[in-house]
Amino acid sequence: MSAFSDPLREARQKSGILKCPFHGEDITMLLRHEDVRQAAKDWQTFSSDAPFRVPIPSEEAVRTMRQLPIETNPPEHGDYRAIVEPFFARAKDPAVIAQVEALIADLFDQALARDSVEIVNEFALPVQSRALTHLLNVPASEGEIWLGWGIHVFKVTGGEFKTGSVLEDYLHRKFDEAQAHLGPDFFSALTQATYRGRPLTRDEMMGFANLAFAGGRDTIIHTIACALGHLAEHPEALDYLRADPKRITLASEEFFRVFMPLTHIGRVCPADTAVHGTTVKAGERISLAWASANFDETVFPSPEEVRLDRKPNPHLSFGFGPHLCLGAPHARLILRTLLRFCCEKVRAITVLHAEERVEHEAAFDRKLGYHTLTVKLTAL
């Protein structure tokens, strides 16, 4: 299966938009690269000041606070973003880089010692959970708690929303602990942070933490699994990277482009807005279809082909404009480290069992990697 079904690809080529129902709401999807980029910059026309409505489908049922800073517009967005940027910048700290490298090297060694490893749950999930402890500067034991939440903090396997508030209960507990015993960690920093001269409210603290845990979880897990799945199906790609590790940087960007985990994100139009011959009425949502934009034939020659030397590669997998993903350096660190150790330690990856994950919508289907991917890793 290609990344998208024919109807969505045809709509991108013909009209640039597609109306698609999502949980009872018809949403206009912007499909072309330039249209998505322009909309991502134009926050006055396509607003993020829409609590619970930026994700598609909406998340009113699974969280009780606005996610920060993603569900705000400039200038508030910039002021909120500055509060947490120092923690996400830790992905470029040599000490954090060394911790992530040691983590991934150890997981490869464990996998190589086994007859098989299930990549999604036994490899990618531990990488994501344990690497996040280093980014947020919390004890390693917290990562073992997060492992128990599964692939998605809001959804169970199969895509249904979870019931209860496991994440919110956990976050409230961590903020209570931080306020009683301050430390150098993410939770303590938020309890001490100020926004425009006042302390953050508990809801604001929760909004930052909610996004930190939800935004970079299944996205990183998906990308890891898809990258290893591709190297298993295309052993020549692993040979290509091993021959010159400098190729890993371009290759990782191509994996981010092709295996974009987030199909799209929502914006709300404050006023009636004409888009390619259709009108998005005031208060209605529009979709910035990042994944479709990443396959725009006018920008990416032969977009369905994985070209590990693709350059330039202006993919939109980390968004665009003021809301460019805070976690991008962390994701890049993880994937580049993963590819490097794969080249250094692994001779071959053999698929033993795979179940593809497909997003089924009324207007299109989109392959989203794997529900499960069991492989045999053979050491060099």
Q: Is the pLDDT of residue 3 over 70?
A: no
Q: What is the pLDDT of residues 129-153, one digit of tens each?
A: 999 999 999 999 999 999 999 888 8
Contact, 157 vs 150, CB < 8 A?
yes
Mean pLDDT of the 261-273 span: 96
Contact, 29 vs 289, CB < 8 A?
yes
H-type alpha helices, the chain: 6-14, 33-41, 76-88, 94-112, 119, 125-136, 140-147, 166-180, 186-192, 202-215, 218-233, 235-243, 248-258, 290-293, 328-345
State the average pLDDT for the chain. Answer: 94
Residue with token string 């400098």:
246
Q: What is the pLDDT of residues 19-59, one digit of tens each?
A: 999 988 999 999 999 999 999 999 999 999 999 999 998 88
Query: Is the torsion defined by CA of 14, 20, 25, 29 positive or negative?
Result: negative
pTM: 0.95
Mean pLDDT of the 237-256 span: 98
Q: Report how far residue 153's alpha carbon sits from residue 174's, in angstroms, rounded to the nearest whole number.
A: 16
Q: Report how far residue 365's alpha carbon sits from residue 4's, in angstroms, rounded to the nearest whole number.
A: 6
pLDDT band at 252 (very low <50, low <70, confident <90, very high): very high
Q: Is the pLDDT of residue 191 over 60?
A: yes
**What is the percent of the chain where pLDDT is above 90?**
87
Q: Is the pLDDT of residue 12 over 80?
A: yes
Residue with token string 């080529």:
13
Q: For each of the domains in the chain, give its residue range(s) and CATH number, in order of start.
A: 6-379 (1.10.630.10)
pLDDT value at position 166? Answer: 87
Contact, 128 vs 221, CB < 8 A?
yes
Q: Is the pLDDT of residue 2 over 60?
A: no
Structure token digits, residue 348: 């071959």
Q: How many CA atoms lie within 13 A of 170 on its CB side?
A: 15
H-run or E-run covering 226: helix 218-233
- Cα three-residue angle 191-196-200, rounded to 5 degrees: 25
DSSP per position, 148-170: TT-S-SSB-TTSPBPPS-HHHHH
- Cα three-residue angle 376-222-174, rounded to 5 degrees: 115
Q: Which of 291, 297, 257 is nearest to 10 (CA)?
A: 297
Q: What is the pLDDT of residues 299-332, one digit of tens each?
A: 999 999 999 999 999 999 999 999 999 999 999 9
